[in-house]
Amino acid sequence: DADVTQTPRNRITKTGKRIMLECSQTKGHDRMYWYRQDPGLGLRLIYYSFDVKDINKGEISDGYSVSRQAQAKFSLSLESAIPNQTALYFCATSQGGTSGDTQYFGPGTRLTVL
Amino acid sequence: GQNIDQPTEMTATEGAIVQINCTYQTSGFNGLFWYQQHAGEAPTFLSYNVLDGLEEKGRFSSFLSRSKGYSYLLLKELQMKDSASYLCAGTSGTGGFKTIFGAGTRLFVKA
């Protein structure tokens, strides 16, 4: 079984709809992240959480919100989806520590906003 | 400021060697990651350099020069399955908590 899972894997929605993307992990990591990936722009950080009580904005948090329901679960919401939020969304986890902080990514959610 | 630069695309021949360069400007630099990402899939970890020099791991090697803000990923004995995007990512802060990703280099391996 995959260590980091995302649901749904694909979603098509309409402008103005509320959307929730979910991420679960069995790696036991405290740190979780949400990124979006657009062609030519690479991965951009939306929100990150270092533990259940810690939520931080990334570089592109406007239009998004998150919830860390448990150590293993981190969900991303688009309160009112707009077309320029069409992208590939990745959840990631990491252990933390002083010897680098390798991130482990979920399989991604492809979101299309019409 | 934080900035990661790497070429957009490269093409190489099966069996050859290719070097993918990355330059970075990251305040409070900690270390540098390389990830591989096949089209439509998740990025996966390749290497992490925190000290200057070359680290070899099978067909893949990664080099870091902290004074020059420069890294490269070297792929030897290229195989068709190496066709993918290669993401350079700089980390900063305690425990490398802030990671900035480059846009990635798409590598095409041709027969």
**Region of B8 on the Ramachandran plot (φ > 0 left; ψ -120 to 50 alpha; else beta):** alpha
Is residue B60 predicted with pLDDT exceeding 70? Answer: yes
**pLDDT for res B54:** 96
Q: What is the mean pLDDT of residues A56-84?
A: 96
**pLDDT for res B1:** 61
Residue range A17-64, pLDDT digits in tens: 999 999 999 999 999 999 999 988 889 999 999 999 999 999 899 999
* CB within 8 Å: B102 and A40: no
Q: CA nearest B87 in A: which residue?
A: A42
Give percent above pLDDT 70 in chain B. 95
**pLDDT for res B84:** 97
* CB within 8 Å: B96 and A103: no
**pLDDT for res A71:** 95
* CB within 8 Å: A101 and B99: yes
Helix and strand numbers, DSSP H then E, in chain A: 0, 11
* CB within 8 Å: B103 and A40: yes
**pLDDT for res B95:** 56
Size of interface A-B (CB pairs under 8 A): 56
